[in-house]
Amino acid sequence: MLKPLSAVEKDPGFKYLLRETASVVLGCRKLLKPLAMKCTKRNVKSLKDKITGDFTKAIPTIAKILIAQEDIKNAKKHNVVSDLLKHNRDETIFLLNEADPHFKYIYTVKLMELTTPHPIQNPPYSISMR
């Protein structure tokens, strides 16, 4: 942190300054630790939500594969997902370690993202290029 000249490094006053600096740095670390932990907690939640979101995006595809493999007639993929979660919840999403309401919320949000047209891809107005 401190960058003394070689002559200053030998000065007893500088050695005292080094101890004082170390004390200040230690105090700052103690003050920053709770803030860093809050940031880490938010990062972990964000990553966990991303993993859950990616999984919820994949579930309808998994359901389509299950429908095809089992040759189920007139089945809708989201109904199959609902039945799968209703009857085999622990085997299906236990690794996510998510509470059911939060999982359902993320599933609904991701479903909306997949089924709602993006405004740029399908604008509600036409653009004339002249």
DSSP 100-122: HHHHHHHHHHHHHHHHSPPTTTS
DSSP, res 96: G
Name the more confident of 112 and 11.
11
* Confidence band for 115, pLDDT divided at 50, 70 and 90: low
CB atoms closer than 10 angstroms to residue 80: 19
Q: What is the pLDDT of residue 31?
A: 96
- Taking alpha carbons only, the member of 86, 85, 64, 84 closest to residue 76 is 64
30-39, 63-72, 74-83, range with greatest mean pLDDT: 30-39
Find where tokens 């003394």 sit. 4
Q: Per-residue pLDDT for 117 more than 80? A: no
Q: How many whole angstroms separate alpha carbon 71 and alpha carbon 54?
A: 26
Q: What is the pLDDT of residue 78?
A: 80
What radius of gyration do the chain's Cα atoms show? 28
pLDDT digits (tens, 9 = 90+) for 34-60: 999 999 999 999 999 899 889 888 888
CB atoms closer than 10 angstroms to residue 82: 13
Question: Mean pLDDT of all residues in the chain?
Answer: 83
- Taking alpha carbons only, the member of 50, 45, 63, 53 closest to residue 109 is 53
Find where tokens 């966990």 sit. 48
